[in-house]
Structure 1
Amino acid sequence: MRIVVTNCNTTREMTEEIVHGARTAAGPGTTVTGLTPAWGPESAEGWLDSYLSAAAVMDLLRTYRGPAYDAVVLAGFGEHGREGVRELVDVPVVDITEAAAHLACLLGRRYGVVTTLERSRGQIEDSLETAGVARNCAAVVGTGLGVLDLGDAARTEAAFLAAAEQARAAGAEVLVLGCAGMTGLQRTVGEKLNMPVVDGVAAAVKLAESLVELGLTTSRVGSYQRPLPKRRVWGADGAGEGGQERGPARLG
């Protein structure tokens, strides 16, 4: 089984960290390939970055020319593009935001999300609402750290623990890492907090594996039908595109 994991930003070092976490979670026989957008923001923080990132990730997948893959994991917490990618490719698409939330709901009555900057709260809340899991979210709490600040492990852990206490005070019984760049942090903070901490990258990889093994993929009835045939111009690609987007490996 091959899973493609897309970073939501152009920072390759972050892609490498995400892929490391994904490979750690993946079962025997699963190959993980990381993809980094060729254009877009170096870190996704705010609505503008998020929409730009969504277009860049879809462009990345439509022009993909690598080995065929069985599932896509979108490694951008609270970022846009999930629904568009499901129209674009013919394999299961699992977003780390909803994957983490769904698993958290199996572990406790209410969960809390600890993320980066406070400005990301609105996007995350909207994404959880769209995924149907917002009702169980006790709080989304920011650490005050930017995405590119997460490389400082000691600072990140301290900020996470402080924010986690706020989430627990709001009623959270389970915590979710609210950024793909936090992958791996669950192993250290979980013990210190004495509560389950869900990493979205690991959760998405395991759910993607399960969908492939069960022979399930995105429904083409209703919302996620194939894109309507029409001319589409992608940025500098003046040639435009037809109804069937070129690029993504389609497994049938």
Structure 2
Amino acid sequence: MRLLVVNVNTTTAMTAVIAASARSVAAAGTEIIGLTPTFGAESVEGNFESYLAAVAVMNVVVTYPGPFDAVIQAGFGEHGREGLQELLEVPVVDITEAAGYLASLIGHRYSVVTTLDRTVPLIEDRLTLAGLATRCASVRSSGLSVLQLEQEPDTAVKAIVHEAELAVREDHAEVICLGCGGMAGLDDAVRKATGVPVVDGVTAAVKLAESLVGLGLSTSKVRTYAAPRQKRLTGWPLSP
């Protein structure tokens, strides 16, 4: 089984972190391919960058030269999952939704700890669209930029742990979701500090994708995610 794990930004170091996290839980025989868009922002932290990333992710996936069994979109709260589902016959799993689905199975309510405050509404909208908002106690901002997660790891851990503790104590969250693909690998630190289960969207998405492929299930193509109608698309795909 081959899973494409697609970073939404152009920072290759973050792609490596995300892919390593995915491999840490992948079953024997599952190959993880980390992909980085060829254009877009170095970190996605707002609507403009998110919509740009959606096109970039679709582009890098449809131009991937080999076969694959599923795609994981590794951006928390980002746009574009629906476009991939129209374009592809294989399952597509978004890490935001994967985290919310699993958290809902192991606790009454969950909270998300993310990066900058401006990304909170995007995550709230994605959870609402997925039907997961009613189980979400809060979406909290650590105040960190995406790139600070890599550049200032000690500061990042402290800020994320602090917000997670507040989510448990003040918002009555029973599960914490790490709200950024770049937070992969921080689940142990948050779990030890809070005493509650912690869900990393990347690893959650890998296990859900493996399950869908193993069960022979993929996106329904009957209506909402039917293949795009055949028409002339000027300049698409963008990559050679």
TM-score bin (small chain): over 0.9
TM-superposed CA distance for 1:166, in Å, is 2.5
Match of 1:110 in 2: 109
Match of 1:217 in 2: 218
Match of 2:164 in 1: 164
How far, CA to CA, are the matches of 1:112 and 1:15 in structure 2? 25
Q: Deviations over 1:10-32 (max 9, x none)?
A: 00000000000000010111000
Give matches, 1:198-209, under 5 Å. Answer: 198-209=199-210
| Residue correspondences, number | 238
Contact 2:161 2:189 in 1 (8 A): no
Q: Deviations over 1:7-60 (max 9, x none)?
A: 000000000000000000101110000000000000000111100100110111
How far, CA to CA, are the matches of 2:107 and 2:234 in structure 1? 46
Give matches, 1:46-61, under 5 Å. Answer: 46-61=46-61
Backbone CA RMSD of aligned residues: 1.4
Match of 1:243 in 2: none
TM-superposed CA distance for 1:139, in Å, is 0.2
Q: Deviations over 1:174-212 (max 9, x none)?
A: 000000000000012111211000000000000000000
TM-score, normalised to structure 1's length? 0.92
TM-superposed CA distance for 1:104, in Å, is 0.1
Q: Deviations over 1:51-101 (max 9, x none)?
A: 010011011112111x21000000000000000000011100000000000
Match of 1:64 in 2: 64
Match of 1:31 in 2: 31
How far, CA to CA, are the matches of 2:235 and 2:11 in structure 1? 22
TM-superposed CA distance for 1:235, in Å, is 6.5
* Alignment partner of 1:20 is 2:20: yes
Match of 1:44 in 2: 44
Q: Following TM superposition, where does structure 1 have runs of at least 4 consecutive aligned residues deviating by more than 3 angstroms? A: 234-237
Match of 1:138 in 2: 137
Contact 2:2 2:68 in 1 (8 A): yes
What's the secondary structure of 2:106's corresponding residue? Answer: coil
